[in-house]
Amino acid sequence: MREIIPIFIFTLLPFILQAEDGHSFWLRANNTAPVEVICPKKSATLRIAEQELRQGWQGKANEKITLIVKNDNSLKNDGFRLAKNRIQANTDRGILYGVYEMLRRQQTGQPIDEEVCNPSYQRRILNHWDNLDGTIERGYAGHSIFWRKGADAFVVTESYKRLWQEYARANASIGINGTVLNNVNASPSILTADYLQRTKAIADVLRPYGITTYLSINFASPQVIGELKTADPLDPDVVNWWKEKVKEIYSLIPDFGGFLVKANSEGQPGPQDFGRTHADGANMLADALAPFGGIVMWRAFVYNPSDEDRAKQAYSEFMPLDGQFRDNVIIQVKNGPIDFQPREPFSPLFGAMKKTAVMPELQITQEYLGQSVHLVFLATMWEEFLKSDTYRFGKGSTVARCTDGSIFSQKYTAIAGVANIGSDVNWCGHHFAQANWYAFGRLAWNNSLLSEQIADEWIKLTFSDNSREGEIAVENSIYSPDWQVNFLQPVKQMMLNSREAAVNYMMPLGLHHIFAADHHYGPGPWWAPEGVRKDWTPPYYHQADTNGIGFDRTASGSNAVNQYHEPLRSLFSDPKTCPDIYLLWFHHLSWNHIVKSGRTLWNEMCYRYDMGVQQVREFQQIWDEVESYVDEERFVHVQSKLRDQAINAQVWKDACLLYFQQFSKLPIPGDIERPVNNLKDILSKDRKRKNQ
Ligand code: BDP
């Protein structure tokens, strides 16, 4: 029963919103009530579960809650059974997740009925692209929270331990149960004694929160740090070196998770350097890890400067190896066939490998989506991806079902997200970027959750309802109608539209990879210096000329479309049936081609770019209108980021339209706002930046 709080309690309270720096993310302390927790089993993880319940209880005062670890066949892995006064699970981790779920429901005003909650994936893993010198590849929120250089590199201070603990708690609260501590472009040094000691120190802090530690490895390690003459995976000395190394790791970290490997990709060493296959390399490591229960996550992000369309290469490379991998190898595949672009169709490898375990890799850090400046909520993108139908096993063979064990029985199921976490006080650089960390965890737990629900939860947990300030705990938290209508709804709408807005002002209609070189932040459709690999230059991807624009991936072009199963192959092949969102991904079309809206392609492009800019202007307006509902610190921070986003969206629009106009030679339609930047100036700024 909900306790009734007299209305005057709210109204007499001073109207103060505490300044917030975002460090407590969605786990902000709230008004809580006393609760009695009964937990017969004892462990470090269960102690945390008990403590979290006591600290965060928002149900009826003095309620009695029982936490029971007991075998139940309807529960899978870390799943739990939730009931009003009881949480039951097969594992201690399961209890911890049940506690966080109960608290989340209390705080967001959702009912707690008897329910079984099982995770979609067994392993829900963050990938940190953290370098051992403390920098982060594609990190936009400060330095690594794990590594640093200098004399103190290996000193484990209390403040580090606190940070790792806060990090572990945040992850556990959203069901993440694993983390890879270092960059996929891995330094061999990670496997030397000092770094392994530090890895152990981190693993010890993460363990009670149910987080398993993994490392990225460099395939040439036996040569670089082991002083062997080769790293050939079939060489007995190499095999032995890895066996010994794995043994050493497990002597320090008995529950170590395994290795993540980027091999023969973008200059990284790999088995092909020795005339061996990806399967030879992965299996050698898998055999070393198997006795300890470890796994290998072998990345399919592999492409070479060959004549073959880059979008086809991962499939061409891995399909012939299907069935050759050990059962503790999982092939980690990026969501799209190219590279974390604002929009890509799903990689055709999903569902295609029938005898090999496959896991999706998503990018939480917004390398190609405005980094920590643009407000872009990625749940909608991931939902679109997970729900994509591969048709491999008839209608409904979605990417989600092809990877979570529903269609294939894989020994291990997993999903990875490239983390956006750094040493910034608010962890992610942009307050709203935390929503992407949150969304990844929630989708990894339940891959059929809707973005709308995730955004709803996150907003309720992250921002306060003024009228509830000082309110004593109630069973189901109440958000005032005023707050819901004037804050929750508009902010949620802004989040849900934000990814499409970014696609519009950056790369509408299936355009992709037209970023400025290196930093991948602003536009650079013109960038193609002599001597640079063609597949690293934007003109390779947009193919604009006086006839038209787009990459022909149909049978008359690269035929990448053939890697998709029917009916997708036919659907994508015909510009009349190809969804507009993928039009220029699969087709090179004339500037006057008529698209579904009835406009010409050129006019549609102008319209989309302009719409993207207008959408960001709307976000600014929405944010300004909710000012009285947000503490000043976060309000000002987000407001200033939105201003930068609006400036940058305008640059994207102007740069792309003015650049492509040189080919289309067509006017920008009269009802569209004129560019405000000159292409010449944008180009000269771009050149200056490169010469810096
Ligand atoms: C690209 C990034 C690069 C990464 C690479 C990868 O630009 O920094 O090393 O992906 O995933 O998107 O290996």
Predicted confidence (pLDDT) per residue in 511-531, tens digit? 999 998 888 999 999 999 999
pLDDT in tens, 24-81: 999 986 778 999 999 999 999 999 999 999 999 988 899 999 999 999 999 999 999 9
The answer to whether 339 is a known catalytic residue is yes
Residue 81 near ligand 1, beta carbon < 6 Å: no
The residue that leads in pLDDT, 273 or 10, is 273
Residue 185 near ligand 1, beta carbon < 6 Å: yes
To test ligand 1's pocket by mutation, which of 184, 217, 418, 541 has the most ligand atoms within 8 angstroms of CB? 184
- What's the token pair of residue 144? 């690594």
- What's the token pair of residue 137? 């590849």
In angstroms, the CA 457 to CA 54 distance is 21
The three-point CA angle 78-350-554 to 5° equals 160
Residue 382 near ligand 1, beta carbon < 6 Å: no
Q: Which of 130-139, 365-374, 665-674, 682-691 has the lowest mean pLDDT?
A: 682-691
pLDDT in tens, 139-177: 999 999 999 999 999 999 999 999 999 999 999 999 999
For residue 2, the model assigns a pLDDT of: 36
Ligand 1 centre to CA of 213 (Å) is 22
Ligand 1 centre to CA of 625 (Å) is 38
Residue 536 near ligand 1, beta carbon < 6 Å: no
The answer to whether 500 is a known catalytic residue is no
- What's the token pair of residue 126? 């963050």
**φ/ψ (deg, to 5) at 638:** -70, -40
Whose alpha carbon is nearest atom 12 of ligand 1? 339
Average pLDDT over residues 630-640: 96
Q: List all residues 6 or more positions away from 157 whose beta carbon is below 8 Å from its beta carbon.
A: none
The answer to whether 383 is a known catalytic residue is no
Residue 167 near ligand 1, beta carbon < 6 Å: no
Whose alpha carbon is nearest atom 1 of ligand 1? 339
Of residues 367, 389, 604, 610, which has the active-site annotation?
Answer: 367
To test ligand 1's pocket by mutation, which of 298, 339, 341 has the most ligand atoms within 8 angstroms of CB? 339
CA 436 to chain centre: 7
Residue 262 near ligand 1, beta carbon < 6 Å: yes
For residue 470, the model assigns a pLDDT of: 54
DSSP 8-state symbol, 130: B
For residue 63, which amino acid is it?
Answer: E
Ligand 1 centre to CA of 684 (Å) is 27
For residue 305, the model assigns a pLDDT of: 79
Of residues 36, 237, 266, 673, which has the active-site annotation?
Answer: 266
Show the domains of the chain with their CATH numbers: 31-118 (3.30.379.10), 123-462 (3.20.20.80), 501-691 (3.90.1330.10)
Mapped onto helix, strand or coil, the DSSP state of residue 179 is: strand
Contact present, 496 and 624 (Cβ < 8 Å):
no
To test ligand 1's pocket by mutation, which of 301, 363, 369, 513 has the most ligand atoms within 8 angstroms of CB? 301
- What's the token pair of residue 194? 């000092």
Ligand 1 atom closest to the Cα of residue 262 is 13
pLDDT in tens, 317-356: 999 999 999 999 999 999 999 999 999 999 999 999 999 9
Mapped onto helix, strand or coil, the DSSP state of residue 366 is: coil
pLDDT in tens, 387-420: 999 999 999 999 999 999 999 889 999 999 999 9
